[in-house]
C-alpha cells in the first residue's frame, strides 16, 4: 500500500516516486480514480514501447488493450483489492518479453483510495543470467563428457551429483544408477582408501592423489585406477563438494604383470561360494612353504592360481619357474628338470643347470604332473624328501631350496589306481590340495568373468570400449564351455576381432556356439573329467572317434572338446598310435 498526503502536491509527490523507481530501473505508472493515467516513468515507457504524452489522461483499459490485467482492479472496493503479482508476456516483433506486474492502491492521509500505482519489473536480465549459467553448465558437462578420463562430482554429503561418459564406461554403471547415491558404491565400501582420500580433500581443501587406487564395477570386479581428488568451492571459498578424476590402469597393470610375473587375488575372478572358499584357503596356505597340489580341468586357471600363490608367499621376490611335464619328450625331461654335466651324453659340451637350479630359493610349478614318466617320479620323490638331486651324468648331489606347486587335469588318485603314478609321490605332493571347479559348475561367475576378460582384451587391443548386446550375452551365459575359462577368453577375443563397432552382437560369436545345445553335452562331447571317470571307456571313445575321422587329430579333438595337445597326451597315456 502506498499513502500520499492530501494536498495540491499529490501529483508532484507521485512523480517523485516514479523518478525514484526509475533510478532502480523499475517501470511504474499511476492511475487516478477515473482510471486515467496520470504519469509514467521512463523505464515503463521503454518496457511498454509507449511515450508518456501518448497515454496521460487516457483510460488505462484503452491504452493496454491486449495486455491482460490478471489481478483484480485496485480501484474496486477495499475488501476486493489484492496485491498479488502477475507475470505478463509481451510479444513484439516475434520477441518475447517477460514482466512482473505488481499493482497497489494509493491512499491519502484519510485512508481513502485516490488512485493506483502499477510497478513493472523486467525479467530479461534475470533470465539472461539464468540462461547463461545453464548454458555454461551445459557446455562444461559436454566438455567433461567428451574427455577420455573418468570424472564424477559429489556434494558435501558424498552423494554423486555428476558422472561423465568415461566414468560410465570404466565402472560399468549407468549414471542414472549412481546419481544421488553415496560414492562408496563405486569404491567398494566406506573404508576404501580412495574414498578416504576424497573425504580428506573435501575436509581440508587439499588435493590428494592415488597412484594405485581401486574402483569396483557394477559386477563387483576390482579395477586398478590412478585417482586425483580435490574439493569444490563456491565463489565465497566455501567447500560445497568434491571432484574425482581417474584413469583406467588395466593395460599398465597387465604390462606390469607380464614383465614382473606378479599376480594377485584380484587377477582371479569369482564370487561363487566355491571360488570364495578357494580364495580363503589360498590366503592362508600361500604364507607357508607347504607343497600344494592343484587339480582342475583344462582351462580352469591352474597356472594363474600357482602364480597368485607365489606372489602372496614369502618367496615372491625369488624366481618362479614353470615346467610343463607333458610338453617335453621323456628323453629330454630329466635333463631339463635336473640339468646335466659336461660329457653326460653326446653333445653335452658344458655343464647346464636344470629348472630346479633356476628355481632355487623360489617356487617351481610342475604343470601336468600326471604325465611325468615313472622313472622321473622316483627322482622327484627324492627332491621332496631330501631337497637334493643328482644332475644327469653326475655322482654328486646338489642341494636345492624350492617350494613345489604341482597341477594336474586328472585326479592323481585315479592314476595311482591304474599304476600310472607312484603312490608315495602322490602323498608327498598331496599335502594341501586345491580343486578348481569347471566353469559350468560356477555359472554365477560368468557375467563377472565376461566383463573382466572383455575389458582386459580391449585394453590390450586398442583400448576401445566395447559392450555386449543382450542376444550375444544370452548365448554366452547359456553355453557349456568344455574348455572352461580359456575357451571363454578365446571366444571373446574372436568376437572382438570380428566386431568393428562398439557392441558385440550374436553374429560376432563363433559359429559353433549357435549350433551346440546349452545343456550338458552328449556322451560323445566333451570328455567328463570328474573322479569317477572310467579310463577304459575314455580310451575306447578316443579310438572310436579317431577311426571315424580317419586318424585326424584336429577333428577328433574338436569333437571331444579338447585341444590337440591334450589329445596327444591322452593317446600317449593309453598307448594309442595310428
State the pLDDT at residue 564: 73
Task: Yes or no: say if 340 and 392 are a contact pair by the CB < 8 Å rule.
Answer: yes
* Beta pairing, strands 27-32 & 37-40: antiparallel
* Residue linked to cell 580352469: 300
pLDDT in the model for residue 529 = 43
Using a 10 angstrom Cβ sphere, with 0-12 exposed, 13-18 middle and 19 or more buried, the burial of residue 489 is: middle
As a whole number of angstroms, the distance between CA 425 and CA 406 comes to 12
Topology of the domain covering 2-122 = Beta-Lactamase (3.30.450)
The segment(s) of the chain belonging to CATH 3.40.50.300 are 264-435
> Which ranges of 266-403 would DSSP assign to H, the alpha helix?
273-285, 302-312, 330-338, 355-358, 374-386
> Residue 35, Cα to own-chain centre: how many angstroms?
70
Other beta carbons within 10 Å of 85: 14
Grid cell 623360489 is found at 362
CA 156 from chain centre, in angstroms, equals 24
Separation of alpha carbons 534 and 476, rounded Å: 30
Q: Tell me how far apart the alpha carbons of residues 202 and 154 are, in angstroms, rounded to a whole number.
A: 10
* Phi, psi dihedral angles at 235 (to 5 degrees): -65, -15
CB 541 within 8 A of CB 524: yes
DSSP string, 385-454: HHSEEPPBT-SS-EE---EEEEEESS-HHHHHHTTSS-HHHHHHHTTEEEEPPPGGG-GGGHHHHHHHHH
- Among residues 488, 498, 481, 489, the alpha carbon closest in space to that of 438 is found at 481
Pair type for strands 503-504 and 467-468? parallel
Q: What is the pLDDT of residue 577?
A: 66
- Minimal CA–CA distance to 88: which of 133, 39, 122? 122
Contacts with 557 (C-beta within 8 Å, 6 or more apart), sequence order:
563, 564, 566, 567
CATH 1.20.950 fits 535-573, yes or no: no
Judging by beta carbons within 10 Å of its beta carbon (0-12, 13-18, 19+), is residue 371 exposed, middle or buried? buried
Q: At what angle do helices 273-285 and 302-312 cross, to 10 degrees?
A: 40
Residue span(s) of the chain under CATH 1.10.8.60 come to 439-514
CA atoms within 13 A on the CB side of 505: 6
**CATH class name, domain 128-248:** alpha beta
Q: Which CATH architecture has domain 264-435?
A: 3-Layer(aba) Sandwich (3.40)
Q: Give the per-residue pLDDT at 545.
A: 82
- What is the three-class DSSP state of 567? helix
Would you state the pLDDT for residue 336? Answer: 87
Residue 28 buriedness (CB in 10 A; 0-12 / 13-18 / 19+): buried
Percentage helix, strand, coil for the chain under 3-state DSSP, each rounded to 5? 45, 20, 35
How many CB atoms neighbour CB 167 within 10 A?
25
Whether residue 246 contacts residue 170, with contact meaning beta carbons closer than 8 Å, is answered with yes
State the CB neighbour count (10 A cutoff) for residue 109: 10
Can you name the CATH fold of 439-514? Helicase, Ruva Protein; domain 3 (1.10.8)
Question: Which parts of the chain have pLDDT scores under 70?
Answer: 1-15, 64-100, 123-140, 250-268, 462-464, 515-536, 575, 577-578
Instruction: Return the closest-CA partner of residue 297 out of 433, 487, 416, 438.
Output: 438
Q: Are 224 and 213 in contact (CB under 8 A)?
A: yes
Report which DSSP code applies to 258. H
Q: Give start-end residues of each CATH 3.30.450.20 domain in the chain.
A: 2-122, 128-248
**182-195 in b/e burial notation, b at 16+ Cβ within 10 A?**
ebeebbbeeebebb
Amino acid at each position: 500500500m502506498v499513502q500520499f498526503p492530501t494536498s495540491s502536491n499529490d501529483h508532484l509527490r507521485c512523480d517523485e516516486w516514479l523518478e525514484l523507481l526509475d533510478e532502480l530501473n523499475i517501470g511504474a505508472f499511476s492511475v487516478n480514480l477515473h482510471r486515467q493515467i496520470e504519469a509514467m516513468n521512463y523505464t515503463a515507457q521503454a518496457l511498454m514501447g509507449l511515450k508518456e504524452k501518448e497515454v496521460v489522461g487516457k483510460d488505462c483499459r484503452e491504452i493496454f488493450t491486449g495486455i491482460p490485467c490478471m489481478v483484480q482492479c485496485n480501484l474496486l472496493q477495499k475488501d476486493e483489492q489484492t496485491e498479488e503479482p502477475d507475470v505478463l508476456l509481451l510479444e513484439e516483433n516475434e520477441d518475447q518479453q517477460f514482466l512482473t506486474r505488481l499493482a497497489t492502491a494509493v491512499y491519502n492521509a484519510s485512508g481513502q483510495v485516490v488512485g493506483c500505482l502499477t510497478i513493472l519489473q523486467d525479467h530479461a536480465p534475470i533470465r539472461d543470467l539464468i540462461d547463461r549459467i545453464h548454458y555454461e553448465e551445459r557446455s562444461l558437462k559436454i566438455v567433461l563428457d567428451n574427455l577420455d578420463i573418468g570424472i564424477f562430482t559429489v556434494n558435501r554429503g558424498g552423494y554423486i551429483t555428476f558422472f561423465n561418459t568415461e566414468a560410465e564406461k570404466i565402472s560399468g554403471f549407468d549414471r542414472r544408477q549412481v546419481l544421488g547415491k553415496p560414492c562408496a558404491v563405486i569404491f567398494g565400501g566406506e573404508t576404501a582408501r580412495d574414498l578416504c582420500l576424497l573425504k580428506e580433500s573435501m575436509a581440508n581443501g587439499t588435493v590428494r592423489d592415488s597412484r594405485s587406487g581401486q574402483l569396483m564395477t557394477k559386477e563387483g570386479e576390482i579395477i586398478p585406477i590412478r585417482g586425483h581428488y580435490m574439493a569444490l568451492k563456491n565463489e565465497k571459498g566455501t567447500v560445497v563438494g568434491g571432484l574425482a578424476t581417474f584413469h583406467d590402469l588395466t593395460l599398465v597393470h597387465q604390462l606390469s604383470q607380464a614383465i614382473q610375473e606378479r599376480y594377485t587375488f584380484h587377477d582371479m575372478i569369482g564370487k561363487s561360494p566355491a571360488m570364495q572358499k578357494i580364495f580363503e584357503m589360498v590366503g592362508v596356505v600361500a604364507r607357508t612353504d607347504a607343497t600344494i597340489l592343484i587339480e582342475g580341468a583344462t582351462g580352469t586357471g591352474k597356472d594363474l592360481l600357482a602364480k597368485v600363490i607365489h606372489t602372496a608367499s614369502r618367496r615372491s621376490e625369488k624366481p618362479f619357474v614353470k615346467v610343463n611335464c607333458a610338453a617335453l619328450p621323456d628323453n629330454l625331461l630329466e635333463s631339463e628338470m635336473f640339468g646335466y654335466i659336461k660329457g653326460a651324453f653326446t653333445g653335452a659340451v658344458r655343464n647346464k643347470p636344470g629348472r630346479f637350479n633356476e628355481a632355487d630359493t623360489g617356487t617351481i610349478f610342475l604343470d601336468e604332473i600326471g604325465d611325468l614318466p615313472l622313472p622321473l617320479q622316483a627322482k622327484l620323490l627324492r627332491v621332496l624328501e631330501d631337497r637334493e638331486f643328482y644332475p644327469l651324468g653326475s655322482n654328486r648331489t646338489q642341494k636345492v631350496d624350492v617350494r613345489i606347486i604341482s597341477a594336474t587335469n586328472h585326479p592323481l588318485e585315479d592314476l595311482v589306481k591304474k599304476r600310472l603314478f607312484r603312490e608315495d609321490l602322490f602323498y608327498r605332493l598331496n599335502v594341501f590340495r586345491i580343486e578348481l571347479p569347471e566353469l559350468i559348475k560356477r555359472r554365477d561367475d560368468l557375467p563377472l568373468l565376461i566383463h573382466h576378460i572383455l575389458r582386459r582384451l580391449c585394453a590390450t587391443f586398442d583400448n576401445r570400449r566395447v559392450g555386449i548386446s543382450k542376444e550375444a550375452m544370452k548365448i554366452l551365459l547359456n553355453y557349456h564351455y568344455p574348455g572352461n575359462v580359456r575357451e571363454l577368453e578365446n571366444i571373446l577375443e574372436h568376437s572382438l576381432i570380428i566386431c568393428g563397432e562398439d557392441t558385440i552382437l550374436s553374429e560376432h560369436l563363433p559359429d559353433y556356439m549357435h549350433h551346440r545345445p546349452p545343456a550338458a553335452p552328449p556322451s560323445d562331447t566333451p570328455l567328463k573329467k570328474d573322479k569317477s571317470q572310467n579310463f577304459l571307456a575314455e580310451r575306447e571313445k578316443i579310438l572310436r572317434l579317431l577311426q571315424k575321422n580317419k586318424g585326424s587329430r584336429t577333428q577328433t579333438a574338436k569333437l571331444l572338446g579338447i585341444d590337440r595337445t591334450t589329445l596327444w597326451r591322452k593317446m600317449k597315456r593309453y598307448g594309442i598310435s595310428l
